Amino acid sequence: MLNWKLILSGLGIIIPLKETLKNFPRTFLPRYIPGSIWGYLSRGEWLLTNFNVSHKMNIYSSLLEVIIPLSASLFLLSGSFLKFNFLLYLVLAVIILFGFWLVFEFSRKRIFPRLGFSDEKNYFSFRRWLLGNFIFSVNWILMGLMTLFLVTIFNNPNNQLSIWSVQNVWNATLAYCTAWLGGFLVLFVPAGMGVREILFRLVLEQLMGISSDIALLVAVAARFISLLSEGVWLIVGILIKD
């Protein structure tokens, strides 16, 4: 939600916080329809009706909303090369951060105008691009901390992993990013359900050294927490009065 407001404000579209809290959570529900695009489409109707934001501008902001977390997740995953070669990691990190940005800038200048997008209104600064990547990177790390906390809850007491270990937090973050990325790329599965959990279990086994059963419990619990948080935000939106 925070990144979405950042993207819109970067495009010169200001949505009041009250309206965001009331209506944005409702776009969570269509994500569970096969196709993965229905949440963006329903949001577009709301933005057009209430704030006169065109469908083209909604598509543009939605592309940024997809590309930024994708860039941030790949940026963090490239950190797995740190153990092999620091220079290789730096090269990959620069390619990911600048590469995505350059491709998007090329599309903005060469492709989007041919599709009817106004170049003057759709510029998204590199500073905001980096800020968006930073926000999502922090989000992934927090999800990694949640994952590690779940591992400590379900894991065998004789094989506990320290939540204060930077390596454990990093491994848990990489596992979460990998699972999210896999679920995200399988477009025909609603919200990556099932695919994300399978990948999560496999990567947790490899990186955290826990059993398959414990890894599956963690993956399912993480999904439940995600659904619960979306439900809480949905209730908050329903309770907000006009």
Q: How far apart are CA 109 and CA 158, in angstroms?
A: 58
112-129: b or e for each residue (b if 16 or more CB lie within 10 Å)? Answer: beeeebeeeebebeeebb
Please calculate the CA angle 215-174-39 and round it to the nearest 5 degrees.
90
Q: Highest mean pLDDT range out of 122-131, 202-211, 231-240?
A: 202-211
* pLDDT of 12: 80
Q: E strands of the chain, at which residues? A: none
Phi, psi of 172 (to 5 degrees): -65, -40
Q: Where are the alpha helices (H) located in 78-194, listed in sequence order?
A: 86-106, 126-154, 166-185
List pLDDT tens digits, range 18-34.
Answer: 888 888 877 766 666 65
State the angle between helix axes of 195-208 and 126-154 in degrees (0 to 180), rounded to the nearest 10. 70
* pLDDT of 175: 92
List pLDDT tens digits, range 49-104.
Answer: 888 887 777 777 888 888 888 898 888 888 776 666 777 778 888 888 888 888 88
List pLDDT tens digits, range 136-159.
Answer: 899 999 999 999 999 999 887 766
